[in-house]
Structure 1
Amino acid sequence: MAIKESRDIVIEASPDEILDVIADFEAMPGWSSPHQSAEVLETGDDGRPSQVKMKVKTAGITDEQVVGYTWSGNAVRWTLVSSTQQRSQEGSYELAPEGEKTKVKLEIAVDPLVPLPGFVLKRAVKGTVETGLDELRKRVLKVKKG
């Protein structure tokens, strides 16, 4: 059963500052609670990661996955390349500058291999999106302060 979720948040930083934090995958396990490890496997011509191997724990399930990333303008999109616990995953961060702040929209669609009741899956994905945005905001503000 696939589930889709989206949410947005306003962060007091520029799109570039936010994208730099997102692109620093190797630091992600230090600030994103679901991420246990992350390793950049490939980097694109723009210097940003294009393929990342990570271990992620959500709803008590640990998944080892490889994810492909595409960076363009004020957005980053990803697609699952391989996973031990998911059939598919697609997501994106869309950033829209608003003066000194940026509106960040996170969208994700997940189709797990493990049969989970719909309400459990929806709660897990919604929690991941909320936590991901809240933790991203905290990290961006911390990095921005120096």
Structure 2
Amino acid sequence: MADQTESSVVIDSAPGTVLDVIADFERYPQWAGAVKEATVLEEQADGRAARVQFTLDAGAVRDTYSLDYTWDFADDSTGQLSWQLGESGVMRTMDGSYRLASSGTGTKVTYTLAIDLRIPMLGMLRRKAEKTIIDTALTELKKRAEQR
């Protein structure tokens, strides 16, 4: 991904627990504030989501979009989940990833994101929006995974 924003957090939960939270897309509306609905549209042969449709309401940005997922994880649940934008009314690009790595007794999660909207936006404002999205997502993921 070119021109992306990245941030990390350490979550006091095992990689398997964090991965389970990330992979449970249909529960995102319960803990990810801007996600109002999430539906798995396609699954891979192993049962993991291949395409997911989201309905987002982040105040100024409202959209229904789909993401196509690629899973690359070891048996210990460390690895990477990547996605690319499938369809969207507002975005041209929404590519990103979660990288999970063991960190002491917890998990270091690194989130990368690159967004390009159909409406013009200064690069500085776009990066600030990406940073806000990432920081919010990591905070919400941390809270959810540590409650398990």
Say which of 108, 112, 131 aligns to 1:107. 112
Corresponding residue for residue 52 of structure 2: 52
Q: CA deviation at 1:127?
A: 0.6
Corresponding residue for residue 64 of structure 1: 64
What residue identity is the alignment partner of 1:29? P
- Partner Cα distance (1:92, 1:47) in 2: 19
- Cα deviation digits, residues 111-145 of structure 1 (max 9, x gap): 11122333432222111000000000001011x2x
Corresponding residue for residue 43 of structure 1: 43
What residue identity is the alignment partner of 2:116? D
What residue identity is the alignment partner of 1:130? D
Normalization by structure 1: what TM-score? Answer: 0.91
Would the aligned equivalents of 2:115 and 2:126 in 1 still touch at CA under 8 Å?
no
- Partner Cα distance (2:18, 2:66) in 1: 22
- SS in structure 2 opposite 1:81? strand
C-alpha distance 122-58 of structure 1, shift in aligned 2 (>3 A): farther
Identify the range of structure 1 (104-113 vs 55-64) with the bigger mean alpha-carbon deviation: 55-64
What residue identity is the alignment partner of 2:43? T
- Partner Cα distance (1:117, 1:99) in 2: 39
Corresponding residue for residue 16 of structure 1: 16
Matches within 5 A, 1:1-146: 4-58=4-58, 60-73=60-73, 74-142=79-147, 144=148
Normalization by structure 2: what TM-score? Answer: 0.90
Q: Which runs of 4+ in 1 moved over 4 A?
A: none
Question: What fraction of aligned residue pairs are identical, expressed as a percent?
Answer: 36
- SS in structure 2 opposite 1:38? strand
What residue identity is the alignment partner of 1:42? E
Cα RMSD after superposing both structures: 1.5
- SS in structure 2 opposite 1:114? coil
Any stretches of 5+ residues in structure 1 without a counterpart? none
- Partner Cα distance (1:67, 1:105) in 2: 18
- Partner Cα distance (1:63, 1:119) in 2: 22
Q: CA deviation at 1:59?
A: 5.4
- SS in structure 1 opposite 2:4? strand
Any stretches of 5+ residues in structure 2 without a counterpart? 74-78
Q: CA deviation at 1:32?
A: 0.5
